[in-house]
Structure 1
Amino acid sequence: MGAVRLFFHGQLQIRAYGRDPERFLNLCAGTGVTLYNMKRKEDDVCFVLSVPDFRRAVPLARKSRTFLHICRRSGLPFLLYRNRTRKAYAAGLLLGIFLLYFLSHFLWDIRFVGNLYYTDETIRDFLEEEGIQYGMWTNQIVCNDLEQAIRIRYPEITWVSAQISGTRMIIQMKENFSGTDSTEIKNVPGDLAAAEDGVITSMIVRQGTPLVKPGDEVKAGQVLVSGRIPIHDDSGEVVTEEETTADADVYAELSIPYVWEHSRYREERIVTGKYPCGISLRIGSYLLRAGRTEAQDGTFCLSETETPVLFYRFSLPLSLTIFRAFHYETCMRRMTEEECQALTEKELTLFRGEIRAEGGKILREETETTMDENQIRAEGYFWIEKQIGEKVPLQEIVREENENGISVGEASYDAE
């Protein structure tokens, strides 16, 4: 803040000398006069003062019989004074400020975040069909309408957010290609069957008739919650059944075998040389290319893109991409034990992440890693807890009376 204050108020490089310059410094400290970059040169003292502080320091110098010599003047007031007769310079400065303000109301950059399947070019072409292009007024863009249009055009994009920051529009999105649509079977009567073998740990039944309880061991295909709800009469006998969609959260503990093998030798690329192979310049929606921008046999290519930005949010409609090619040679190298352990742990971490991504909770794990001269092998078991219910068509319930005379039922579903 001191440098900014000195620039706008004007700064003076001062050399103070006289009978007692130390007394002058003490008076300045007592009255709040700020001295910057103070240095001692023989019997003199050099420092920097702002113009307002200099006016306050003059009486203090007289009181202490100290002489102040101005060595240099700089800052905005002196710059304007020196250029007071240059009217074209002032007009150009004002015109530049006006142009920057005027151009800040246009769209000069579009960024995409989160798109993996759809490329930037695909979505950018769609934006041009919707009338969104470089150089248009930002107040003509309605982000809510644009988000809705993207979701309608690309159903696989489940979430999209468009926002304008300065001259840049940022479009964030999430894609889903699971291919499942819960609405197709939401209102269709059906049962809830076990997708895997396991032991039931907990159940929360919202709709339907439960056929198992916590602690029961179930097999894949066994119906857990039936979509048939029995209607009893006053004597407790089943007179009819209501068909509905079974809905429940059924958690079970199950074991998953883990086996992973990998060669102890891996291919490595040794860079033998590099050279610039091409550049591309984007001006608005136009793209100019020179040289090679793709890798060839025996080389791989890296790119660096620079987009000039003014005042943090003012993105200019320019971007320069430099492509560099690297020559390499491939060789096979045998990994050390530390590298093998690190690779094994990395694969285990990925496997744990896959389990958690599928909604599983790891209860415990037992794995063992072995390695010989040519092979790495990790094997063991993971005990996890996860939901195992899946929607299946309605099955007939075979009802039997238990020891208390209450009608109970069992059903199974053949997944094949």
Structure 2
Amino acid sequence: MALACTAALAATAACGSSDAGTTADGKVELTVATFNEFGYEDLLKEYEASHPNIKVTHRKTGKSDDHHQNMFTKIGAGSGLSDIEAVEEGWLAQVMAKSNQFNDLTKIGPADVKPDRWLKWKSDSATTKDGALIGYGTDIGPLAMCYNKDLFAAAGLPTEPEAVKAIFATWDSYFAAGDQFKAKTGDKAWFDSAAQVFNAMVNQNKVGYYDVDDKLVVDSNPDIKADWDKVTAAVAKGQSAKLVAFGNEWNTGFKTSAFATKTCPSWMLGVVEKQAGPENSGKWAVTDAFPEGGGNWGGSFLTVPKQSKHPKEAAELAAWLTAPEQQIKAFTSKGTFPSQVEALTAPALLEQTSAYFGGAKVGALFAEQAKKVPAAQHKGPASGQIQDKVFNSALQAVEQGTSVDDAWKQAVEGSQKAAK
């Protein structure tokens, strides 16, 4: 049968061509492209079981960068995109710059799915200037602070989560505590990496690397320069461990107590536990405080490209996957913290505790932190590259001895080049 079908116009729907968007038995075939872990494996099977006319093919890529580079290649080619394409927040600005390639979900999605399903800052992030919603929010990474209790005790600092909140009230109080810590401990660092702190600071600002008209403002935004000055001053005082995030030495640093504090999005707890190891259970703690209120690091969206042959069915699947009920299941499966307002009050989330972090009620903690995130900051086309490549490199240069002025010049010129 397969040979006969191939000989007789394999491109027809009757022969089950994926190009036609239907299977051999007449089902609508939807492709879903994700990366890393979304917790969708069992959910997609559940959707197929309740929608017998739908066949779902899951295209899962290991690395976020590989997924997004492949996606942009297919956008340029004008073909090959999946019916649903996941987009990570770091790449969202580049997708928004090509929003005409994606469907407005307020027009093709289920009528009862409104932007207020999500935290406002989450849905606002995927809304264009003319009001088109191009992505349904999946997970988020609300920020709290993690700290090493043994190192805090050695410096004469309080160690219990409630007692340390004053330390993490503002960036000024945070860096002042770092001075106290260094005075008492000498060779130990206050934080892991200048870039890890700086990125959190910049993302809290009302205006980031671009203004709302997509004009690059790195050299004219006083908030960015103020953040830079505070972080580099802390580096000069020895507060940074000078580690490259997610590198081997950084990984080992959790186990060897190389630094006392860590900016901690919800998903970072798993990283800390893995890298510090079982022998350090109870040594690391997390508190529901973050300098200047709150912030977010991480999270994704589900989009429906205009290349989709079944946009309505794709939007229905994307809406179902991002419904509060399914997001709680994904959270239970893979720890992806939900962005839906209703999900943030679900008992399955609020009752979650972490034995590794001393029994902390981490579900309720991060649900509260999510509500503290300020309005969505506008991201320009090269915002992700400027943060992850340009400023990270410039701050690493400072940590390795480059003068602050020279590194700032490097950051400004690198941003201008990235924005061209």
Larger Rg: 1
Which one has the bigger helix percentage? 2
TM-score norm. by structure 2 comes to 0.17
TM-score norm. by structure 1 comes to 0.17
Instruction: Considering Cα pairs closer than 8 Å and 6+ residues apart, tell me whether 1 or 2 has the greater RCO.
Output: 2
